[in-house]
Structure 1
Amino acid sequence: MTAPVRTRSLAVSAVLDVVLVLVFSAIGRSSHAEGVTAGGVVSTAWPFLVGLVVGWAVTYALYREKFVADSLVPTGVIAWIGTVLVGMLLRQLTDEGTAFSFIVVASVTLGIFLLGWRAIARFVRTRR
Structure 2
Amino acid sequence: MTSRDPAAVGAAVAGAAALDAALVIVFAMLGRGSHAEQLSLAGIWQTAWPFLAGLAIAWIAARAWRSPGAVLRFGVPLWVGTVAIGMVLRVLFTSGGAALPFVLVATLVLGLLLVGWRVLRALIVRARAKPQH
Fold shared, TM-score > 0.5 on shorter chain = yes
Structure 2 distance, partners of 1:124, 1:38, is 34
Match of 2:106 in 1: 106
**Gap regions ≥5 residues in structure 2:** 129-133
- Taking structure 1 as the reference length, the TM-score comes to 0.92
Cross-structure match for 1:23: 26
Q: Which amino acid aligns with 1:43?
A: Q
- Count of residue correspondences: 124
Residues 1-128 of structure 1 mapped to structure 2, 5 A cutoff: 1-2=3-4, 3-60=6-63, 67-94=66-93, 95-128=95-128
Q: 1:46-74 CA deviation, whole Å, 9 max, x = no partner?
A: 000000011101111xx78xx20111121
Superposed CA RMSD: 1.3
Return the offset for 1:5: 2.0
Post-superposition Cα deviations, 1:72-124, rounded to whole Å, max 9, x if no partner, equal: 12111111011100000011112421000000000000000000000001111
Q: Measure the CA separation in 2 of the matches of 1:127 and 1:119.
A: 12
TM-score by length of 2: 0.89
Deviating 4+ runs (over 2 angstroms): none
* Structure 2 counterpart of 1:46, one-letter code: W
- Bigger radius of gyration, 1 or 2? 2
Are 1:25 and 1:44, in contact at CA under 8 Å, matched by a contact in 2?
yes
Q: Quote the sequence identity (%).
A: 38
Distance in 2, matches of 1:8 and 1:125, equals 18
